[in-house]
Structure 1
Amino acid sequence: MGTTSKLSMQNINKSFAGVPALQNVDLEVRAGEIHALLGANGAGKSTLMKVLSGAYELDSGSIEIDGKLIAIKTPGDAKAGGIHCVYQEIDTALVPQLSVTENIMLDRISSHHSSMWLQWSSLHKEAELVLARLGASIPVRKKVEELTLAEKQLVLIARLLTEQAKVVIFDEPTAPLSLEEAERLFRVMHQLKSDGIGCIFISHRLPEVFQNCDRITVMRDGQRVLTTETKDSSIDEIVRFMLGRTFEEEFPKIEAPIGATVLEVKGLTRSHVVRDVSFEVKSGEIVAIVGSVGAGKTELSRLLFGADLKEAGTVKVNGQEVKLDEPASAIRSGIALVPEERRKQGILVAESVKRNLSLPILNLISKFGFLSRSAETLNASQLINRLGIKASSASQQTMYLSGGNQQKVSIGKWLPADVDVFLFDEPTKGVDIGAKSDIFRIIGDLAGQGKAIVYLTCEFTEALGIADRILVMCDGRLVGTFPRGKATQEQLLLLASGGEEVTG
């Protein structure tokens, strides 16, 4: 393997609205190496790669390619410097209506004023040669929209080779692939490595990192905390660096009596995103389902709320099987969802706080189809006080509240409704520490009232703090279960990263 540095990022700093996202980050990628970039959710990996690929402009620091300083202010600057990306959302980088050859030779074709003067037979031949170099046999006259996701990835990588790529960023490229497709992608990455190209590999699956990567850099809280040769490290060590701090008892758990089973889920399945999931939740119990981004947590919450249709499995509430063909059915059955994307799915941003808080109970505060304004105002004032929602008035538009207060509205609207099961999908995403404390208190109060709580999160520390039981999800399956006090962050992250099934 060559030891010359292909890429050097030094003292990279980036802030958003005065909040540091990257602090003095260094990253060196050698020519002909596969370099893993790891970190827990929110560690700064994506921000660093967006700076490198020109999506964000750095505040300070320097980037060198082949020893030459390069100014990257746009994606075009990055490509001109030989920096390319292979994202999960592969379709955004390809033109589906064009052929494989046209996609591979896109730069060459677009630089010609007329396609009449192009030698199509030689372009097809060149495309075939580039694909053959990657060990891929894809018909080059076929339209890209007819290809599988894995084939599309190979077409994009073939294009990078024709554009003289020097550094290729692979951002969670194996997440949507089968094991066989992932193996083929790794063979391609090793081919790029042997051609002297530097590969940056972002993944939450630690076993594949240790099988394929030469070195590992770990980020935490916007800083680089470790760079090591893979052979000199272990999964346990990497997990320790990714997590950093042990859990701080910032948010004391409110103890609640646990009663009879309220929610029973058996064999719930939808495609490859939720696979044969079974669990139960008792009255007063908080069950956390933890996993990395893409593990299937959100998809599971949508199935349980009837937002997506299951392919197999049953769901019972208080012993009665429920038909989950739409959210209205779930609500009638006593299931409520506080979704991850609150601005898109949890609240009506253009409506007032008062109107949002009354949405699930409009039938209760209406007579003969007419809404009682006084009942709506009373409901809003009670919930605003109970939840500590900071708004100028109940009539303020919800879009002007902070993230934490929007989340309180998203939760609060369900409190007067006749709900037995609360599903919380990443409820503390994008909220400050004070609002986080309030949200934990609200959830604790609901458990105290005998509600069954399903808390879906990629924040393992939150699950350890709030849950009576923790289930671990990986690639659409539940792969481990732990009673309160029996799990460590290391165990959870190991399982969520593709480790073996364990029951605590």
Structure 2
Amino acid sequence: MGEGKPIHLQMKEISIEFPGVKALHQVDFQMTTGTSHALIGANGAGKSTLMKVLSGAYGHYTGSIHIDGEPVQIRNPKDAKDLGIQIVYQEVDTALVPYLTVGENIMLDHTVNDMGKKQIISWKAIHQRSKEILDKMNVKVSSKKLVSELTLAEKQMVLIARAISKTCRFLILDEPTAPLSHAETEELFRIVRNLKLENVGVIFISHRLPELFEICDEITVMRDGEFVVRKSIEDMSQNQVVEYMLGRKLGDQFPTMDIVKGETIFETRGFSDGEKIHDIDMHVKKGEIVGIAGLVGAGKTELCKALFGIGNGHFGEVVLHGKKLRLKSPHAAVKEGIALVPEERRKEGIWVGESVATNLSAVNLKRFSRMNLFLNFRKEREAAHDIIQTLGIKTPGEQVKVQNLSGGNQQKVAIGKWLITDAEVYIFDEPTKGVDVGAKKDIFELILQLAQRGKCVIYASCEMSEMMGITDRMYVLYDGRIAKELQTSHTNEEEILFYSTGGNEA
């Protein structure tokens, strides 16, 4: 933990480039331990890149970093950790070892560092120390449980526990509340407040403005790889922050279109995955946007995956255009005209090491091949260029690797690949997770356009405001079952939350 007097961190004129992308241009950032600082900006603003420089993930930057006025060298993660700078990334699965226990993951850095000094590892000491850290954080997870058995929220807490298991002056949290329920978010904020009291500086990268105004002391806004403004949080309003982020006034977040609904095209009867979801009876009309509402852990993601043929086995019926489907695999689902944009986009929705063009053509290779043997690269590039223009994907070109794009633009690629296939049913699982307000509006407009074309849209989210703003009708899930069907125009966020938490009319 951080100790003693406040320590000042300053980053000066930080610039960095990747192939085809100038990510940061002379960015300044500063903060002090014992405070919490919000770092925000639209997707592609460079906030995650700046923090990867600070945490040692990117060493080829120009500019300088100072701690208490003294210049320091941070060119790799070890440099950062030795200075007490820790980061918890948004994609938690990439930072954890699934076949190790919670305790082994928390103490991983200590174990690796000790390997060269001694040959015997005390597993008892590892689990005892891990339990102490988890107890201090008030996290009710056994240190002996395998990480592969944890929920997203629990994995997030394990990573924070690892970060504070050693000297921590500055803790960077990249979209920390994205996988958390309201109660889990409050628990995280309690932990952050305690860390501040112990003289740790906490940096929040987030798009959830109300949360930032609740927990942060200062705010730095970035736009297009450059510094825009740094102010005390009490000197800013949420509307001002959005205007700084976008460089313009936002307007209405949820666009509207007059869409004529048709007959029922897609429905499920007694649908179950045999594990998490049970007896799902739902239907979607032509041109209708149907929401799947519920809190974290309600079964929304499991339902979306099961409808896409993912899982060990499904029961009940899935019917499209009157035809009963046998969805034994995602391949079968795609052939039947079902598309899924998954919650974990980097893990399941895109190939980060491949180009934008390759990702956009991946689910419809037949369209770009001659005699199903040779890929027509020209047609692939042209189609990719059209999708880039349609969705407003910020990229220097279709051959740029997806890993060099911002989170919001990666999400647009995950969505864009399905536009080429012209599916019948589009399933969106938390599509705006980790996406800024500008990109959210783009995604909402795209979804409305799909509905206008007569497509069936299933939209799963735990964001009540999105349920109210984008859907025509919704099913509220609780504990893997439909608790209530609601007409969006005749409900409110309070009623959605009531049924999401297990309430019933009785």
Q: TM-score range by the shorter chain?
A: 0.5 to 0.7
Query: Aligned residue for 1:48?
Result: 50
Query: Aligned residue for 1:357?
Result: 367
Among 169, 176, 179, the residue aligned to 2:179: 176
CA change 1:204–1:323 in 2 (3 A) is farther
Partners of 2:221 and 2:228 within 8 A in 1: yes
Query: Aligned residue for 1:25?
Result: 27
Among 339, 350, 355, the residue aligned to 1:341: 350
CA-based RMSD of the aligned residues comes to: 5.8
Partners of 2:261 and 2:285 within 8 A in 1: no
- 3-state SS of the aligned residue for 2:53? helix
TM-score, normalised on structure 1? 0.62
Query: Aligned residue for 1:217?
Result: 220
Partners of 2:242 and 2:249 within 8 A in 1: no
Instruction: State the shift of 1:46 in Å.
Output: 1.7
Partners of 2:38 and 2:216 within 8 A in 1: yes
Instruction: State the shift of 1:199 in Å.
Output: 0.7
Partners of 2:362 and 2:417 within 8 A in 1: no
Among 230, 233, 257, the residue aligned to 1:230: 233
1:71-90 mapped onto 2 (5 Å cutoff): 71-90=73-92
CA change 1:258–1:161 in 2 (3 A) is closer
- 3-state SS of the aligned residue for 1:11? strand
- 3-state SS of the aligned residue for 2:467? strand
Q: Larger deviation: 45-54 or 5-14?
A: 5-14
TM-score, normalised on structure 2? 0.62
CA change 1:26–1:333 in 2 (3 A) is same
Partners of 1:480 and 1:501 within 8 A in 2: no
1:45-194 mapped onto 2 (5 Å cutoff): 45-90=47-92, 92-94=94-96, 96-97=99-100, 100=103, 103-104=106-107, 106-107=109-110, 110-111=113-114, 113=116, 115=118, 129-135=132-138, 142=144, 145=147, 148-149=150-151, 153-194=156-197
- 3-state SS of the aligned residue for 2:52? helix
Query: Aligned residue for 2:209?
Result: 206
Query: Aligned residue for 1:489?
Result: none
CA change 1:18–1:111 in 2 (3 A) is same
Q: Distance in 2 between matches of 1:334 and 1:139?
A: 43
Instruction: State the shift of 1:502 in Å.
Output: 12
Among 32, 35, 38, the residue aligned to 1:36: 38
CA change 1:354–1:280 in 2 (3 A) is closer
- 3-state SS of the aligned residue for 1:480? helix
Q: Distance in 2 between matches of 1:120 and 1:331?
A: 47
Q: Does 1:474 align with 2:454?
A: no
* Bigger radius of gyration: 1
Partners of 2:37 and 2:202 within 8 A in 1: yes
Q: Distance in 2 between matches of 1:172 and 1:427?
A: 23
Return 5+ residue gaps in structure 2 as ranges.
252-256, 343-348, 400-408, 410-414, 433-438, 473-491, 497-506
Partners of 1:404 and 1:432 within 8 A in 2: no
Instruction: State the shift of 1:219 in Å.
Output: 2.4
CA change 1:91–1:434 in 2 (3 A) is closer
Instruction: State the shift of 1:187 in Å.
Output: 1.6
1:437-448 mapped onto 2 (5 Å cutoff): none
Amino acid in structure 2 at the alignment position of 1:71: Q
Cα shift readout 1:239-264 (whole Å, capped 9, x = no counterpart): 3333334689xxxxxx9996734644
Q: Distance in 2 between matches of 1:261 and 1:317?
A: 12
Partners of 2:243 and 2:249 within 8 A in 1: no
CA change 1:8–1:159 in 2 (3 A) is same
Among 239, 246, 250, the residue aligned to 2:242: 239
Q: Distance in 1 between matches of 2:139 and 2:301?
A: 34
Q: Distance in 1 between matches of 2:314 and 2:51?
A: 37
Partners of 2:106 and 2:165 within 8 A in 1: no
Partners of 2:86 and 2:172 within 8 A in 1: yes
Cα shift readout 1:438-467 (whole Å, capped 9, x = no counterpart): xx99999999xxx96859665345356654
- 3-state SS of the aligned residue for 2:39? strand
Q: Distance in 1 between matches of 2:205 and 2:100?
A: 29
Partners of 1:134 and 1:191 within 8 A in 2: no
Among 4, 7, 10, the residue aligned to 1:8: 10
Identity of aligned residues (%): 33
Size of the alignment, in residue pairs? 426
Q: Distance in 2 between matches of 1:333 and 1:243?
A: 40
Amino acid in structure 1 at the alignment position of 2:44: G
Instruction: State the shift of 1:303 in Å.
Output: 5.5
Instruction: State the shift of 1:212 in Å.
Output: 1.5
Amino acid in structure 2 at the alignment position of 1:31: T
Partners of 1:88 and 1:176 within 8 A in 2: no
Return 5+ residue gaps in structure 1 as ranges.
249-254, 360-375, 381-393, 412-423, 485-498
- 3-state SS of the aligned residue for 1:216? strand
Amino acid in structure 2 at the alignment position of 1:238: V
Instruction: State the shift of 1:154 in Å.
Output: 4.5
Partners of 2:15 and 2:61 within 8 A in 1: yes
Q: Distance in 1 between matches of 2:248 and 2:54?
A: 28
CA change 1:444–1:164 in 2 (3 A) is closer
